[in-house]
Amino acid sequence: MNDTLFHDYANWILESSDLVEALKAKNSMITERFKHVLDVLEFLYSKKIEQKVLQAEESNIFETGFYYVFDAFENIKLVLEHDYKGNINELDLHAKTVILLLDTLDFQNELIGAIEEPNEAHMQSLIDIEHEILSVLEKKEDAPVELHHKLDHVTEGIYKELSLDFYPIGNIFFDIADELGLL
């Protein structure tokens, strides 16, 4: 892997640090969701700076984690600007709903990555839930518990039908953080 990704990460840190730090200062559930991914990225980035090289597996972990948080924070920024006009305090009040949106997007990405041609009905059901969540966020409200249950029910059905296991990236990075002694 060339150094471009590490430069991109450094730029992302500079561009996103205000948002990330503001959410961390609030002990937001949003940043808590990414804690282990961010910890592993920081560890591997520091190792790359100090040692000038990472093992192939470490580079792959870094790449996966960086693309994951980059994409997620782009979505958070869109919601923050579109629905909350940049008000981080208001966004954080609806952190559970923001996380529900991120979970829905994770399931969509997982489905796309898991099978060659995702079933259109499966994808549409997730897209419909995404739209429901976005509608709730536009109103600056919390998603009703029924919407959380709906996502659980839909994803459970999809994964059962396709005989897939879902192991969230946050859990994967928790395991990696543990292996690296970061816990």
The predicted-structure confidence for 41-61, as pLDDT tens digits, reads as follows: 999 999 999 998 899 999 999
Tokens of 96: 């559970």
CA 119 to chain centre: 23
Q: What is the pTM of this model?
A: 0.91
**Which pLDDT score is estimated for 67?**
95
**Which pLDDT score is estimated for 83?**
96
Can you tell me the distance from the alpha carbon of 5 to that of 181, in angstroms, rounded to the nearest whole number?
A: 24
**Which pLDDT score is estimated for 97?**
98
With a cut of 90, say whether residue 111 has pLDDT above it.
no
**Which pLDDT score is estimated for 1?**
54
Confidence of residue 162 (pLDDT cuts 50, 70, 90): confident
Q: What is the residue extent of each domain of the chain?
A: 4-179
CB distance 39 to 179 below 8 Å: no
Tokens of 75: 């979505």
Can you tell me the distance from the alpha carbon of 64 to that of 70, in angstroms, rounded to the nearest whole number?
A: 10
Which stretch of 29-38, 83-92, 140-149, 163-172 has the lowest confidence by average pLDDT? Answer: 163-172
Average pLDDT of every residue of the chain = 93
